[in-house]
Amino acid sequence: MPIDAELLASALRALTPILLAALGGALCQRAGVFNISLEGMMLVGCFSAVTGSWFTGSAWLGVLVAVAATTAFSLVLAVGSVSLKADAIVLGVAMNLLAVGLTAFLLRTVFGVQGAFSDPELKGLGAVGLPGLDDVPYVGDVLGGQSPLVYLSWVAVAVAAVFLSRHAWGLRLRGVGERPDAALSLGVSVTKYQYAAVLASGTLCGLAGAQLALGNVTLFSENMTSGRGWIAVVAVMLGRAAPVGVLLAALLFGIVEALGFRLQGQGLPQQAADAAPYLVTLVALFLSTARRRARRASAPADEHAAPQPASLG
Amino acid sequence: MSSSPRRLRSLVTLAVGLGVLATGCNASATKEPAADAPGRSFVLITPNPVGTNPFLKLSVQGIEAAGIEQGGSTKVLQSNDPTTITQNVTAATQQKPDVIVAVGFQFNDAFAQAAERNPRQQFVLVDSCTTKLYRNVTCAVFREHEGIFLAGAEAGLLTKSNKVGAVVALDTPQFHRFSDPFGEGAKKVNPEITFTDLFVGGQNPFADPARAKEQANALTAKGVDVVMGAAAAGNPGIFDAAKGGKFTAWGVDTNQCPSAPGVVVDNVVKRTDVVIRNTIDGVLKGKMGLTRSFGLAEDGVALTGLLGDVANSKCLIAKSPSVITKVQELRQQIVTGTLKIDDPAAK
């Protein structure tokens, strides 16, 4: 089966919402807040993006509305888990359930429909042309026709990577997550950094939702995130909350999904194609832990290896 | 310590009392109008909220039409999940209407239990059937494959690449009714055809437009230029992909052309309204406890393009009258029985 441009373009589209949400999840993880409400936040982002675009007539204002609404929604997690010290998992589960019900309810009250809202007049993000690049064969086919948020997601990966490894705020954020007491003793406000991380994850999930509802498609349907937020949670773990790691994990999911559709066309049963992303996750988790174990085991083993023969001899 | 069991007991008494009151109210509420107006009464239970679900909206129209036809009152109970389905079935049997109608496979178990407990109550199950047959359950099922075959014939006549595809919600025998006959119909009119079907699947197979869209794109990457869309709420995603100009699409259940002007060729519509009206009429005339199937001949299944109002349907097929004529001939052959369409669900 040929790996054609359309396959890679499809993988890119599948990867972008997951990547944006997972970056938010990674920031929270680094700040010591386990954020499993990515799915719900993304769904709120989808709905508010469509609402914003519909009432303003501009997809970009839709993106802004999505970012604002989802950041506001993430306050629930910030206030609950950081200020009130509630369990982030319980809060996350509640937020995911709330998002499904809330968006379905608002779909009925705002648009007067149930199930799905789509209209030929609804403005989507559309494709952005890259001058010079669109004419390059193959590359142009993959990158052309992608929404601007796709490129933004790559920029976000780079910014997050530099921020976490170079910038003072990023380093403090990591300190807050790893040793909150030590951070506090140095005068770093744990609360402030955790709030910032959770709100940033809200912003990123808003972008993820906007990409899914106005970029990948141009419509809203109930529960349209369909588990993509959960895949993002897994991508955070698989990428060990490092921006580049998260990118690679999300890329893996995107490619597996796009490839699954193609393999179905070649006769692979749909049920097997469905299981593929989860199977790949399991394999990747096994391989990465096995490698880490091997490395950890080999490091002290080297130190012990030298005295061992001596003691024998 | 001693007060808590006592308080519990009084709470239970209160709850039981309220329950008795509530059921008492219910009983009087259903009997009174029956005493005033001796007309018939019908209840429709839907598996999901009706909202804009076109299939369920047609069902509501059907029960209302039956109410007018039989001179009776109608009531619609909407469910959200398996729990509310059971509650609604129980509530409906307590009201003792002439016929209780429900739409969808979600009612298979609930109706089987209710039919055993209420042997004198008539039930009609549309678009599915209980596994065991009951004397008081009448099933009405569709022969969708006949309509899908005709849609496939249209696709076979309209394709330029001779590659035909389908995006369907799930890879199960029931849903192969929406894919296999499409390919067969295309091959019937054009032997050069190759057919590919993809299934949405995933966590949300009936409402994942993004996945449905990617699959439609995967089909066009293979050169497919006509696509059957049977992905339920994922269909808008397929039409969204069609706006890229690489293929045209077919819709199901109702006329989906106005939702995406310029990309939908035709629809295979399931006339639940016709089916509910006819089945209720049959039950009242004594045709009960059997499975009735509705296809092209009974007008239970039809193509938008073959209905009278095709000019105002906003469907692309309106521009191809020669295709309509050819498909009309095929329809006639199926109706008269000279052309038999295999049912993938019966395999």
What integer pLDDT is reported at residue B275 of this predicted model?
95
Q: Which residues of B touch A39 (CB under 8 A)?
A: none
Chain B: closest CA distance from residue A59 (Å): 16
pLDDT digits (tens, 9 = 90+) for B92-145: 999 999 999 999 988 999 999 999 999 999 999 999 999 999 999 999 999 999
- CB–CB of B240/A219 below 8 Å? yes
Write the CA distances from B292 to A155, B295, B301, integer angstroms.
60, 10, 13
Please report, for chain B, the start and end positions of each structural domain, with discontinuous segments joined by +.
1-36, 39-142, 145-273+302-346
8 Å CB contact of A262 and B218: yes
C-alpha torsion sign, points B242, B243, B246, B247: positive
State the CB neighbour count (10 A cutoff) for residue B69.
12
Among the partner residues A222, A223, A265, nearest to B196 by beta-carbon distance: A265
User: What pLDDT does B114 receive?
Assistant: 95
Q: Which of A 160-219 lie inside 8 A of B, CB atoms? A: 212, 216-219
CATH of segment(s) B145-273+302-346 = 3.40.50.2300
pLDDT of residue B309: 84
- Which residue type is seen at B328? Q
Distance CA B42, CA B49 (A): 18
Please answer yes or no on whether A217 and B236 come within 8 Å at the CB atom: yes
> Mind listing the pLDDT tens digit for each residue in B189-248?
999 999 999 999 888 888 889 999 999 999 998 999 999 999 988 999 999 999 989 999
Same topology between domain B39-142 and domain B145-273+302-346: yes
pLDDT greater at residue A276 or residue B194: B194
**Interface contact B179, partner A, CB < 8 A:** no
Residues of B in contact with A105 (CB under 8 A): none
Mean pLDDT (whole number) for B60-77: 94
pLDDT recorded at residue B32: 36
| Average pLDDT score over residue span A169-197 | 93
What is the architecture, at CATH level 2, of domain B39-142? 3-Layer(aba) Sandwich (3.40)
Is A6 in contact with B203 (Cβ distance < 8 A)? Answer: no
Average pLDDT, integer, range A210-232: 93
Q: How far is B165 from chain A (nearest CA, A)?
A: 10
Q: What are phi and psi of B196, to 5 degrees?
A: -130, 130
3-state helix/strand/coil string of B244-299? CCCCEEEEEECCCHHHCCCCEEEEEEECHHHHHHHHHHHHHCCCCCCEEEECCCCC
**Structure confidence at residue B18 (pLDDT):** 47
- How far, in Å, CA of B135 to CA of B122, rounded? 9
Contact call for A115 and B204, based on CB within 8 A: no
Q: Which of A124, A150, A141 is nearest to A7 (CA)?
A: A141
Residues of B in contact with A13 (CB under 8 A): 210, 214
pTM of the prediction?
Answer: 0.81
Is residue A284 less than 8 Å (CB to CB) from chain B? Answer: no
Q: Which of residues 107-166 of A touch B (CB under 8 A)?
A: 108, 113-116, 118, 120
Number of residues in chain B: 347
State the smallest CA–CA distance between residue B204 and chain A in angstroms. 6
Which residue segments constitute the domains of chain A, with CATH numbers given?
Answer: 5-297 (1.10.3470)
Query: What ipTM does this complex have?
Result: 0.82
Whether residue A101 lies within 8 A of chain B, CB to CB, comes out as no
Is residue A4 predicted with pLDDT exceeding 90? Answer: no
**Per-residue pLDDT for B339 more than 90?**
yes
- Which pLDDT tens digit goes with each residue over A63-104? 999 999 999 999 999 999 999 999 999 999 999 999 999 999
Spatial neighbors of A122 by CB under 8 A, at least 6 apart, are: A50, A53, A54, A218, A219
